[in-house]
Chains A and B, each alone.
Chain A
Amino acid sequence: MKRIFHFRSSAAGPPKAAVPTSSHLGPLEQRLLEALWERRSATVRELVDDGCQDLAYTTVMTTLDRLFKKNLLTREAEGRAFRYCPSFTREELHRDAAGAAFRQLLEASPASSLPLSFLVEIMTEGDAQLLDDLGRLVEAKRRELRANRKKSSGGGEK
């Protein structure tokens, strides 16, 4: 089996070759990543003191280390602690998640046009659903107008 070794320095972080997928992030990992996107960079202490007071210091530290190992964060030594920065923007990560899902879909079938046709079908179904909903909205308004008209003409007769 072919094995690939990455030599990673703790200061510079992993190489920025490809955006890793965010599809398997846990809720805590997502929360801390969001917090880092907000701040751009933070130490464990800064996160615990501001915004993540409900989390233990060690929990934040372990989760950030896990995100770093997943290539989602870079870190620099700052005194005796690390300062963490997101490796990718929110958009890059979402784009990659969508790309990974599409690639998986395309690889799932021997005929690459088949999954694409499923995709078009799903989108068309979505459009049709939206149009049905709008149609029901128009019908409901029509009934309301008719009822109001009946009511006012009934009131007039009395």
Chain B
Amino acid sequence: MFLARGIAVSFSVFVIVYCSLSAAVGCGWRGLRSLVQRQPSQRAADFLFGLRILPFAAASLVTAAFAVPSFLLLEPRQIQEPLGWIPLALGACGAGLAIFGAWNSLVALRRASRTIAAWSSGAQTISSGISVPVLRITPVVPAMTATGIVRPRILLSGAAESLLSRNELNAALNHEIAHVRRRDNFRKLVLRFVAFPGMRGLERAWLEASEMAADDAAVFSADEALELASALIKLSRPNQAAPEVDLTAALVQSSGAVMNARVERLVAWSSERHVPLQKYSAWYGLGAAVATVALFAVTYSSLLANVHEATEWLVR
């Protein structure tokens, strides 16, 4: 009974924090759009992804750091307290969310692995001299796509290889490598796990930002930017455009408007935009960590008592 009550209370806390924060992010993220657009594309993409997973991360942290310890440490084990219907319902919701997330991710993984296996049958490895293996595939579409999470690979269709010039091909490969380095397919899997209604707009914004971030990471001069723009245009012709497939990052997958914006950005490329992101000193991080630990050391016991009181109210 103690264990069942603990699980129900923990899931209830998770659901309350998760749903409230998700609703807040789903409604409020558009307000931050103008702020995000002023940032470099890589930072914008990271910020949007962080915002998208913030409800899950925060709810997990609150549950693991406060709800579970407060229950284990402060709840008397001998008392046989009956469970109210609220924690039961919320606990069921939490379990449902976890099961749905896991199922959603597994379905996406299975679908992606099937599609990738079909694309890669009879594929040949190309010696491209880059860190990620590149496979030449026989189907015309996808023209070029980064696949895989643990062992990433880039699939390149023979048709696209013959269509693109050497420079265009290099620029396009750099774009896909940027997706691999940024672990965009893994991030897509995470989004599958934390699926929540009302988050479509934010996820689309992140996808667009991640494409632009990969574009920016792939080019280092105006000439390279034009090569990538040219490759995008060539591979966007109707017979080359790829259908959207789970957990892959195709070079040309975005809508017409996003494609247009990407090409225009690349044409207007300037060296000023390609300033490397300012790296913050590790001392800042260490300082913040020490301050947080110190703050928690001082207030943790009273925080736990407050959380326990709140969960008691919830159970009653």
A128 within 8 A of partner (CB): yes
The yes or no answer to A124 lying at the interface (CB within 8 A) is yes
Partner of A134, one of B223, B238, B263: B263
Q: Which of A64-72, A98-106, A138-146 contacts B (4 or more CB under 8 A)?
A: A138-146
B238 x A135 contact (CB < 8 A): no
Given contact pairs A128-B237, A130-B260, A135 touches B230 in the complex (Cβ within 8 A): yes
Q: Give CA–CA (A134, B257) in the complex, Å.
A: 12
* CB proximity to A under 8 Å, residues B71-121: none
In terms of DSSP, what is the predominant structure of the interface of chain B?
helix
> Which residues of the partner chain A approach B263 to less than 8 Å between Cβ atoms?
134, 137-138
Interface string of A113-130 (1 = CB under 8 A from B): 000000000001001101
For residue A131, CB closer than 8 A to chain B, the reply is yes
CB neighbours of A137 from chain B (8 A)? 263-264, 267
Cβ-based interface call for B63 (8 A): no
Query: How many angstroms between the C-alpha atoms of A36 and B256 in the bound complex?
Result: 34
Chain B min CB distance to A17 (Å): 32
- Of all chain A residues, the one with the shortest Cβ separation from B222 is A145
A134: chain B residues within 8 A (beta carbon)? 229, 233, 259-260, 263-264
Min CB distance A62 to B, Å, is 42
Chain B nearest CB, measured from A53 CB (Å): 36
Assess whether B226 is in contact with A135, with CB atoms less than 8 Å apart.
Answer: no
Q: Is the CB of A130 within 8 A of B256?
A: yes
Note all chain A residues with C-beta closer than 8 A to B236: 127, 131
Min CB distance B263 to A, Å, is: 5
A contact residues around B233 at 8 Å (CB): 131, 134-135, 138
Does B229 lie within 8 Å of A127, measured CB to CB?
no
Interface size on A, residues (CB 8 A): 12
Q: CB < 8 Å: which of A128, A141, A142 contacts B238?
A: A128
- Asked whether, in the complex, the Cβ of B256 is within 8 Å of the Cβ of A142, the reply is no
Complex CA distance for A130 and B264, rounded to whole angstroms: 12
Residues of B near A128 (CB, < 8 A) are 237-238
Complex Cα gap A124–B239 (Å)? 10
- Known contacts A130-B256, A130-B260, A134-B260; is-contact A141 B267 (Cβ 8 Å): yes
Closest to A145 in B: B222
| Least distance between A151 CB and chain B CB atoms (Å) | 15
In the complex, which residues of chain A have a beta carbon less than 8 angstroms from the beta carbon of B222? 141, 145
Identify the closest chain B residue to A141 (Cβ).
B267
Q: Which residues of chain B come closer than 8 Å to A131, judged between CB atoms?
A: 233, 236-237
| A125 (CB) vs chain B CBs: closest residue | B238
* Shortest Cβ distance from B241 into A: residue: A127
Residues from chain A with a CB closer than 8 A to the CB of B223 are 145
A141 to B260, CA, bound (A): 15
Give the docked Cα–Cα distance between A145 and B226 (Å): 10
Residues on A with C-beta less than 8 A from B238 are: 124, 127-128
Task: Check A138–B230 contact: CB distance below 8 A.
Answer: yes
Out of A124, A130, A141, which one reaches B226, CB within 8 Å?
A141
List residues 218-233 of chain B with CB under 8 A from any CB of chain A: 222-223, 226, 229-230, 233
Cα–Cα distance between A141 and B265 once the two chains are bound (Å): 12
Instruction: With CB as the reference atom, state the residue of chain A lying closest to B225.
Output: A141
What are the nearest 3 A-B pairs in CB distance? Answer: A134-B263, A141-B267, A138-B229
User: Which residues of A approach B to under 8 Å, CB–CB?
Assistant: 124, 127-128, 130-131, 134-135, 137-138, 141-142, 145
30 A-B pairs in the complex with CB atoms less than 8 angstroms apart:
A124-B238, A127-B236, A127-B238, A127-B256, A128-B237, A128-B238, A130-B256, A130-B260, A131-B233, A131-B236, A134-B233, A134-B259, A134-B260, A134-B263, A134-B264, A135-B233, A137-B263, A137-B264, A137-B267, A138-B226, A138-B229, A138-B230, A138-B263, A138-B267, A141-B222, A141-B226, A141-B267, A145-B222, A145-B223, A145-B226
Q: What would 12 more interface pairs be, CB under 8 Å, given A137-B264, A145-B222?
A: A127-B256, A134-B229, A134-B233, A134-B260, A134-B263, A134-B264, A135-B233, A137-B263, A137-B267, A138-B226, A138-B229, A141-B267
